[in-house]
Amino acid sequence: MIVERITSSQNQRVKDWKKLSTKKGRQKQGQYLLDGWHLVQEVVKAGQPIETLIGTSDELQRHADIVAQVADVVEVTPEIMHQVMGTVTPQGIAAIVDLPVTAVTTVPTQGKWLLLDRVQDPGNLGTMVRTADAAGFAGVIAGTGTTDYFSPKVVRSMQGSQFHLQLLTGDLATIIPALQANQIPVYGSELNPEAISYQAIPKTDSLAIVMGNEGQGMAADLLQLTTKNVYIPMPGQAESLNVAVSAGILMFSVVE
Amino acid sequence: MIVERITSSQNQRVKDWKKLSTKKGRQKQGQYLLDGWHLVQEVVKAGQPIETLIGTSDELQRHADIVAQVADVVEVTPEIMHQVMGTVTPQGIAAIVDLPVTAVTTVPTQGKWLLLDRVQDPGNLGTMVRTADAAGFAGVIAGTGTTDYFSPKVVRSMQGSQFHLQLLTGDLATIIPALQANQIPVYGSELNPEAISYQAIPKTDSLAIVMGNEGQGMAADLLQLTTKNVYIPMPGQAESLNVAVSAGILMFSVVE
Contacts of A238 in chain B (CB under 8 A): 130-131, 133-134, 159-161, 164
Domain boundaries, chain B: 2-98, 112-253
How many CB pairs below 8 Å do chains A and B form together? 103
Q: Which element (helix H / strand E) includes A243?
A: helix A243-253
Determine the distance in angstroms separating the CA of A242 from the nearest CA of chain B, rounded to an integer: 7
**Contact state of A127 with B245 under an 8 Å Cβ cutoff:** yes
Considering the four listed CATH numbers 3.30.450.20, 3.30.1330.30, 3.10.129.10, 1.10.3720.10, the one that applies to the domain covering B2-98 is 3.30.1330.30
Contacts of A130 in chain B (CB under 8 A): 238, 241-242
Give the mutation candidate from B201, B203, B237, B254 for the A interface (greatest A CB count, under 10 A). B237
pLDDT tens for each residue of A223-250: 999 999 999 999 999 999 999 999 999 9
**Contact state of B245 with A159 under an 8 Å Cβ cutoff:** no
Q: Are A168 and A139 in contact (CB under 8 A)?
A: yes
Contacts of B237 in chain A (CB under 8 A): 133-134, 161, 164
Task: Find, in chain B, the residue whose alpha carbon is nearest to that of A256.
Answer: B235
Proportion of chain B above pLDDT 90, given as a percent: 91
What is the identity of the amino acid at A138? A
**Contact state of A164 with B242 under an 8 Å Cβ cutoff:** no
pLDDT tens for each residue of B31-47: 999 999 999 999 999 99
A112-253 has which CATH code?
A: 3.40.1280.10
> Span B127-147, mean pLDDT?
98
Q: Show the 3-state SS of chain B.
A: CEEEEECCCCCHHHHHHHHCCCHHHHHHHCEEEEECHHHHHHHHHCCCCCCEEEECHHHHHHCHHHHCCCCCEEEECHHHHHHHHCCCCCCCEEEEEECCCCECCCCCCCCEEEEECCCCCHHHHHHHHHHHHHCCCCEEEEECCCCCCCCHHHHHHHCCHHHCCEEEEECHHHHHHHHHHCCCCEEEECCCCCCEEHHHCCCCCCEEEEECECCCECCHHHHHHCCEEEECCCCCCCCCCCHHHHHHHHHHHCCC
Rounded Cα gap, residues B107 and B97, in angstroms: 26
A176 touches chain B (CB under 8 A): no
Q: Are A154 and A125 in contact (CB under 8 A)?
A: yes
pLDDT tens for each residue of B179-218: 999 999 999 999 887 789 999 999 999 999 999 999 999 9
Least confident of A87-91, B20-24, B196-200: A87-91
Average pLDDT of chain B, as a whole number: 94
- Report, in angstroms and rounded to the nearest whole number, the Rg of chain A calculated over CA atoms: 20
Q: B73 pairs with which residues across the strands?
A: B2, B53
pLDDT number for residue B159: 95
B234 → closest Cβ in A135, A233, A239: A135
Sequence-ordered list of residues with C-beta below 8 angstroms from that of A111, at least 6 positions apart, any chain? A137, A138, A139, A205, A206
With a CB-CB cutoff of 8 Å, which residues 126-165 of chain A face chain B?
127, 130-137, 157, 159, 161, 164-165
Contacts of B246 in chain A (CB under 8 A): 248
In 3D, which of B217, B204, B119, B215 has the Cα closest to residue B167?
A: B119
Angle at A203 between CA B131 and CA A139, to 5 degrees: 75
Q: Is 80 exceeded by the pLDDT of residue B90?
A: no
Q: Are A115 and A143 in contact (CB under 8 A)?
A: yes
Rounded Cα gap, residues B100 and B162, in angstroms: 10
Task: Find, in chain B, the residue whose alpha carbon is nearest to that of A138.
Answer: B236
**Band (B1; pLDDT cuts 50, 70, 90):** confident
Answer with the residue of higher pLDDT: A101 or B128: B128
**Contact state of B236 with A159 under an 8 Å Cβ cutoff:** no
What is the identity of the amino acid at A201? I
Strands B93-98 and B31-35: antiparallel
Task: Find, in chain B, the residue whose alpha carbon is nearest to that of A249.
Answer: B249
Give the mutation candidate from A242, A250, A253, A254 for the B interface (greatest B CB count, under 10 A). A242
Using alpha carbons, list the distances in angstroms from residue A207 to A145, A187, A246, B11. 23, 8, 17, 59
Task: Find, in chain B, the residue whose alpha carbon is nearest to that of A159.
Answer: B238
> Span A48-74, mean pLDDT?
93
Give the mutation candidate from B241, B242, B246, B255 for the A interface (greatest A CB count, under 10 A). B242
**Contact state of B242 with A157 under an 8 Å Cβ cutoff:** yes
pLDDT tens for each residue of B44-67: 999 999 999 999 999 999 989 999
Q: Is 90 exceeded by the pLDDT of residue A116?
A: yes
Contacts of A164 in chain B (CB under 8 A): 236-238
The set of long-range contacts for B20-27, using a CB threshold of 8 Å and a minimum separation of 24, is B20/B96, B21/B86, B21/B151, B21/B152, B23/B148, B23/B150, B23/B151, B26/B99, B26/B148, B26/B150, B27/B99
Contacts of B241 in chain A (CB under 8 A): 130-131, 134, 248
pLDDT tens for each residue of A159-216: 999 999 999 999 999 999 999 999 999 999 998 877 899 999 999 999 999 999 999 9
Give the mutation candidate from B124, B140, B157, B245 for the A interface (greatest A CB count, under 10 A). B245
Proportion of chain A above pLDDT 90, given as a percent: 91
Q: Is 80 exceeded by the pLDDT of residue A89?
A: no
Question: Phi and psi of A200, rounded to 5°?
Answer: -85, -5
